[in-house]
Structure 1
Amino acid sequence: MTTLSTLLASGAVLVGLAMAAPPAFAEPVRNVVLVHGAFADGSGWRDVHDALVAKGYRVSIVQNPETSLADDVEATRRVLDQQDGPTVLVGHSWGGQVITEAGMDSKVTSLVYLAAIVPDVGESTETLETMPAFPQPNGDVKTTADGRFYYMDPAKFRENFAADSSPELARFMARSQVVLSVEAFGTPAKAAAWKTKPSWAVLPGADKTVSMDLQRWMYQRAKAKVTEVPGSSHTVYLSHPDVVVRVIEEAAGA
């Protein structure tokens, strides 16, 4: 396993540590909207939700249909419309593709990416995950019989997606996963909110779903402030909710 100290010495990660200064809010932002990724649903945010609520935040969770990028962006905008003021928008994995576009909403003050896709305008998740420079982990992703949706093999779900969660939780998630449409996977972003809004990112140190090198490159491009979690699987919000909460608080100006 690559340690944080080794990565720092090589200069290969945490490139954004000093690149995104906290926004100068008059007071900390109190609204947080959480956007899940592919092969998961909103229930996985429970520990993050409860910790933030205990600290006085108003937390809302988007349930992405994952039928198209436009549908997921619209679902996120509906939740943003319900916020009563400035909001931190958080996206995990595929949710990063969603918040990059939905984050253009005027209520969004900052973005937090967790093991996430961070596209530029014109880039899709497929564009990024097929870049030759960043080979992807196998992931054991399969296609439904009609060829319209992707899902993760339940037998390999814990190994590839949630290795540091309990077997019971991983089994439940494998059977409750939301499948991602092939169309959504290949749809390019129409906007990139990270170009105008400060960004934070959490990089799992043992991600077997999205290339860690790709994540580093995307976070550097977005000038995100990066926190690495050595040993964490792709579902860092499940296994390390305390770290995720601290990063969200920083993005909120706390």
Structure 2
Amino acid sequence: MNRRYVAILALAFTTSVIAFAAQAADVKNIVIVHGALADGSGWRKATEILEKRGFNVTIVQEPITSFADDVAMTNRVLDLQDGPALLVGHSYGGMVITEAGHSPHVAGLVYVAAFQPDKGESLLGLASSKPASGMNIRETKDGKYLYIDPVAFPNDFAADLPKDEAAFLAKSQVFASKEAFSAKVGEPAWKVKKSWSIVATDDRSINPDLERDMAKRAGSDMTEIKASHAVFASQPEKVAEVIEKAAKELSR
């Protein structure tokens, strides 16, 4: 048996052991990937609730310059976790966790009003299959990035938040590159790891029926919450409950 073959076997064995450990140990780490056209600040209330319940929460501030960049940033954060992690994605963040979820540190996945793609699908392709009722998208002058018209943002993205909170989200939104929205996902992690999905029934950014269809296709444990696309901010307690439930189920 040559050395190269032995090295390959050793690497495969090590990866399998790490993956098994991630699924067998108690899940106390929550890694959240925020969506496009928003940043991680809206997750503060949900984070505080989860931390009071004993979880260690980290929010990935991905650049949204490209899909590959965002997956890489998520993996960097996952590599910092001490023990297995539950990976949570909102909106475009669902695209990211579908790819990054293959990390051996990830025990399971939670999709929050998120895209949940299958192999070869892109955000633009999924969104156009069942258009949402809102989303006044604008292009930057160079034509490379997208953003929501700040005037329309509260109604389209966060209609159930107080006006001042919705206005802040509009001001802090992260512009998304067209490249990120058109990138196609590889083999989805939800095919090999347990997943949960939250459907925001009043979502105007992603069609709620599309959220349901994607969750059913993936066999996800689905919860419906009456809320806008910003369900993580308007209903932080309910979102935290789903995340806690997922972490506890993975810890059994």
TM-score normalised by structure 2 residue count: 0.88
Q: Report the CA distance shift for 1:80/1:26 in structure 2 as closer, same or farther (over 3 A).
A: closer
Superposition deviation, residue 26 in structure 1: 5.2
C-alpha displacement of 1:138: 3.3
RCO greater where, 1 or 2, for CA within 8 Å and sep 6 or more? 1
Question: What is the aligned partner in structure 2 of residue 39 from structure 1?
Answer: 37
2:27 counterpart SS class: coil
**Structure 1: how far apart are the matches of 2:200 and 2:224?**
6
Contact 2:25 2:84 in 1 (8 A): no
Partner of 2:68 in structure 1? 70
Which of 99, 106, 109 is 2:107 aligned to? 109
Asked if the contact 1:36/1:42 (under 8 Å) is kept, the reply is yes
Q: Which residue, 236, 240, 243 being the options, matches 1:245? A: 240
Q: Which residue of 1 aligns with 2:86?
A: 88
Determine the C-alpha separation between the residues in 1 that align with 2:245 and 2:237: 12
Residue equivalent to 1:193 = 189
CA RMSD of aligned residues (A): 1.3
**How many aligned positions are there?**
228
Cross-structure match for 2:135 = 139
* Equivalent-residue separation in structure 2 for 1:175 and 1:83 (angstroms): 31
Structure 1 distance, partners of 2:196, 2:216, is 10
Task: Give the whole-Å Cα distance in 1 for the aligned partners of 2:85 and 2:48.
Answer: 17
Task: Map 1:199-218 to 2 at 5 A.
Answer: 199-218=195-214
Query: Which amino acid in the other structure matches residue 173 of structure 1?
Result: L
State the distance in 2 between where 1:240 and 1:130 align.
Answer: 27
Question: Counterpart in 1 of 2:146?
Answer: 150
Q: C-alpha deviations, 1:16-48, integer Å up to 9, x for none?
A: xxxxxxxxx655310100110011111111011
Letter in 2 for 1:62: V
Structure 1: which 5+ runs fail to align?
A: 1-24
The answer to whether residue 52 in structure 2 is matched with residue 54 in structure 1 is yes
Give unpaired runs (5+ residues) of structure 2: 1-22
Cα shift readout 1:203-229 (whole Å, capped 9, x = no counterpart): 111000001111111000110111101
* More divergent stretch after superposition (135-144 vs 94-103): 135-144
Cα distance in 2 for partners of 1:184, 1:80 equals 20
Report the equivalent of 1:234.
229
Report deviation, 1:64. 1.1
Is residue 215 of structure 2 the alignment partner of residue 222 of structure 1? no
Identical-pair percentage: 48
| Contact 2:47 2:57 (8 Å CA) reproduced | yes
C-alpha separation between the residues in 2 aligned to 1:81 and 1:64?
A: 15
Q: Distance in 1 between matches of 2:166 and 2:109?
A: 27
Residue type of the alignment partner of 1:67: T
Deviation at 1:129, TM superposition (A): 1.0
Matched residue of 2:168: which SS? helix
User: Does the residue aligned with 2:186 lie in a helix, a strand or coil?
Assistant: coil
Measure, in 1, the Cα distance between the counterparts of 2:184 and 2:209: 21
**1:104-151 deviations in whole A, cap 9, x for unaligned?**
0011111000000011111110111122xx232231011111110110
Q: TM-score, normalised by structure 1?
A: 0.87
